[in-house]
Chain A
């Protein structure tokens, strides 16, 4: 168990180091490279040491249970196949890190680069070492996200942004399909565990969901591995920094798709459907990729299409469903990773030194940088499948498989021809790359004068080329054993006999190789002059830009269709939205009630209290009146609502909820003021002709009436049902019994708020603070409707009445309060200290009797509002510094500090009743820490309320300023 735990750091360390890398300063190039390099190398060595455990079909497994009931576990699993991939990912990752140190320019913000690269490495390691399919999908998505960030690393470049977005869109879409496919597999097998799934291959293949599973999983794999027709993202991802391309498009990102196909090969492969879909995609990709690669002018473009083509080759090998094909596929994955990574590095060196990647502008570089040229030539030869190099071996195996008979299908018949043709194309583009860049005469218009790069920039490519050579010459002694254990991990007992050697005698595959080489050279001879000057892209297909199509689709889906949908279903008017909302709620409630059934309580009028009924009659009439007046008489509606609110408060006391009643009463008052403040800014009432109400309007009103009555009656019914039912055993009893014992307070409501559910309250006051700040910032941008920018009618009338021609407007405003509200305003000002004392009283008694921080806060806010009302904004703010935002901040901090204080004493956040119950007993002092917390609530509630009310009140001052501006402009 201890040994298997090694897999956890293997996957997690890159992420941890990624965070560290992100924190370093942006000019720490060497430090970044060191820590990233050491991480990659360390993981590489760590992986290498695990080989004995995965040799001969063994596997390391480490399981961490998370939600075992749902089959969700963190399972790390490494077998020979995953081991091989881990070696590639960490090994090439290490080389890419070294290379990137010299490639990235000092101006580039490298922390971001290395952090993304490491995180991407971690995601890839997670994909290959997952023993749980859901976990695999999660890491799979992470690779999509981090590849997006890496491709878009130079985000000032539009091509990089577009390429990154396209890669993310396509691969994430594939990831979604993959998730669906995996969920279906989980449904069929009953487990997401990889070992279980691998063991139930025949069950899945025989299931009626097999085809949907296959298609979904394959879409995931094809998008990732850039298989036709999802390959379009890969060439566009070439705007990434070259180290990223070298990493993503050789050993990692694109290999994830073929990795997954291989991983699930024992489960999904071997059926006609698999053969057809995978074979067709592989063949098309192989051929088209190779063909397109010939006509690329950008070196990286050529390599990108070559990558696509090689991935197609691997896919085609996997499609065959034969064990030998699988061995060849795995072998080619490793080979392709090594030679393609070194080729990308060489391309980067050329770009770095010559200043361009356009082959029309390059030439004759062999004389200037012979070492790089030699490296690129060897790697290209491997790519073309020249003997003595690793590419040749896997290509031979591919040819051998292609001529075998696998299925009665036209695909199978065509396979050998397609294989030879694609190989010929590969030879052509390899020669084109080498000849076009390193030979011929040096063009005069090359942007820079190239020379050999620093040794360490060449070193990674050199090592990779060395591997190509060694594997190519001595395959059995070098990779043989590892390949064997990798293939065995997938195939198990079906392991075929095969021999890894350069010479198999004169046979058909060798003949095909020779044929492809000769044909490729001849083809290059024919195309040479055309290619030297031709445009980017293959003839005829040039116009058919994948990117263009993709953009077209994206625009349609995300813009045109969205707009269309909005114009069909959307509305900017509030009434239809509200109507729809209410209607859907009503329908849902009625459906739920009829399907599930509701109890039918009987209404008993016997024990009715007449006094209470009378009160409620008042409340009901007020409420109905408010609803009736709401549209045309806002003020009347507001007054009537106040009446209904008052009756509600009395009912709360009547039904023994004094706390609620107190709070509600204060809230009623403040709400009325708030709505009145808002009424000032509402547009004027629309004068309507009441005689000619059309039938349509009547119908609409009738329908709305029906809806309103339905919703109201339904809510009333539900409320009644809930009230008369026998309540089950609730948590309330616990609160009632323990409020004093544990919370040290006699007021249960308050004890619940500040102690038992203190964390909830903390969250709620935070939300309140956020709301207040949002209201404040929204009102800063508020523009009143044109018809109420002017001062209200009454003010104009009154100021005209008292106007003296020589007095300015400000002087009038200041005197108004004194003149018209002299007596009330004096009383209001005198009440200021009284209300403060009252708020203090409410606050202090809160823990034992009705009251508390919330009520006190609102009462205090009312005191401030009263001052504003009495004397006007300017008068108050000249004399009183009200800083609501500071009050809010202090409240939150105090509340949080109280909670944190509990930690000091070793208790959980916000609670430690044992701490202060002693205090209560000793000094008869009301609970101490809860009181401080309550003070936080008080401070925040007061600040938030005052902030919102004053924000609206300030509009009047702004309006005066705004009104002056246009007049000044008119005068000028």
Chain B
């Protein structure tokens, strides 16, 4: 019972997260402003992290969690750099 539940919830979450990533892609490509793109980029990273977590649960492999951890901890660095670039014109002052 719980296995079936888990299977379906994971499958659904995979597809939903993929859909979320597609949504981010739309903003990423279309913009219109640079800020929209940076935001979409960050959201893409977050969705990817969640996607990896759900994949890890589905495949019972610990390696997905490592990658998710890296994204969670360091993924925001590029977002921060991008926003600072937009805001201040340079990353390190």
Contacts and interface: CB of A to CB of B under 8 A. Distances in A.
A821 B85 CA distance: 12
B60 interface: no
Interface in A797-819: 798, 813, 816-817
Nearest to B56: A653
Given A640-B29, A649-B67, A662-B66, A865 B77 contact: yes
Interface stretch (A409-417, A666-674, A690-698, A962-970): A666-674
Interface in A824-852: 824, 828, 831, 834-835, 838, 849-851
B91 A680 contact: yes
Interface string B55-88: 1000000011011011101110110111011111
Given A658-B67, A677-B91, A635 B15 contact: no
A653 B77 CA distance: 21
A791 B93 CA distance: 10
B90 A618 contact: no
A869 interface: yes
B61 to A, nearest CB: 8
A622 B91 contact: no
B91 A639 contact: no
B8 interface: no
Contacts of A824: 80
Contacts, number: 153
A636 interface: yes
Contacts of A650: 48, 51-52, 67
Interface centre among B31, B51, B75, B85 (most CB of A within 10 A): B85
Interface in B25-61: 25, 28-29, 31, 34, 37-38, 41, 44-45, 48, 51-52, 55
B92 interface: yes
B22 interface: yes
Interface centre among A672, A821, A835, A956 (most CB of B within 10 A): A672
B67 A821 contact: no
A850 B85 CA distance: 33
A611 B25 contact: no
A636 B41 CA distance: 10
Contacts of A680: 85, 89-91
A654 B18 CA distance: 15
Contact of A646 (B48, B64, B92): B48
Contacts of A649: 67
A872 interface: yes
Given A669-B77, A816-B93, A834-B73, A653 B22 contact: no
Contact of B28 (A622, A865, A869): A622
A642 to B, nearest CB: 6
Nearest to B37: A639
A642 B81 CA distance: 12
A665 B29 contact: no
Contacts of B69: 838
Interface centre among B38, B45, B81, B91 (most CB of A within 10 A): B91
A640 B24 CA distance: 11
A673 B73 contact: no
Interface in A300-315: none
Nearest to B90: A680
Given A611-B14, A661-B67, A821-B84, A666 B91 contact: no
Contacts of B18: 611, 614-615
Contacts of B14: 611
B81 A838 contact: no
Contact of A793 (B38, B66, B84, B89): B89
Nearest to B45: A646
Contacts of A949: 92
A533 interface: no
B89 A873 contact: no
A611 B15 contact: yes
Contacts of A638: 82
A636 B85 CA distance: 12
B89 A791 contact: yes
A582 interface: no
Contacts of B22: 614, 618
A637 B86 CA distance: 14
Nearest to A821: B84
A359 interface: no
Given A621-B29, A658-B63, A672 B89 contact: no
A795 B86 CA distance: 10
A292 to B, nearest CB: 72
Interface residues of B, number: 44
Contact of B25 (A643, A668, A873): A643
A672 B29 CA distance: 18
A595 to B, nearest CB: 41
Contacts of B84: 821, 869
B70 A665 contact: yes
Contacts of A813: 93
A794 B89 contact: yes
B81 A872 contact: no
A676 B77 contact: no
A264 interface: no
B8 to A, nearest CB: 15
A653 B74 contact: no
Nearest to B78: A672
A430 B88 CA distance: 87
Given A658-B63, A956-B92, A869 B81 contact: yes
A801 to B, nearest CB: 13
A127 to B, nearest CB: 62
B28 A639 contact: yes
A680 B41 CA distance: 20
A72 B61 CA distance: 57
A960 to B, nearest CB: 10
Contact of B74 (A665, A798, A817, A956): A665
Interface centre among A618, A621, A654, A791 (most CB of B within 10 A): A618
B68 to A, nearest CB: 9
Nearest to B75: A669
A932 B70 CA distance: 24
A434 to B, nearest CB: 82
A953 interface: yes
A798 B89 CA distance: 11
B74 A859 contact: yes
Nearest to A663: B70
Interface in A617-663: 618, 621-622, 625, 635-636, 638-640, 642-643, 646, 649-650, 653-654, 656, 658, 661-662
Interface in A580-630: 611, 614-615, 618, 621-622, 625
A78 interface: no
A835 B67 contact: no
A674 to B, nearest CB: 9
Interface in A842-884: 849-851, 859, 862, 865-866, 868-869, 872-873
Contacts of A851: 66
A463 to B, nearest CB: 77
Given A662-B70, A676-B82, A869 B44 contact: no
B77 A618 contact: no
Given A635-B85, A646-B44, A661-B67, A953 B73 contact: no
A786 interface: no
B71 to A, nearest CB: 6
B63 A850 contact: yes
A820 B74 contact: no
Contacts of A828: 80
20 contacts: A611-B15, A621-B29, A635-B82, A635-B85, A639-B37, A639-B38, A646-B48, A653-B64, A658-B67, A665-B70, A665-B71, A672-B78, A673-B81, A680-B90, A795-B88, A824-B80, A828-B80, A831-B73, A849-B66, A866-B77
Given A665-B71, A816-B93, A865-B77, 14 more contacts: A635-B34, A639-B38, A662-B67, A665-B75, A672-B82, A673-B78, A794-B88, A794-B89, A795-B93, A831-B73, A859-B70, A869-B91, A953-B91, A956-B90
4 tightest A-B CB contacts, nearest first? A792-B89, A658-B63, A953-B92, A672-B78
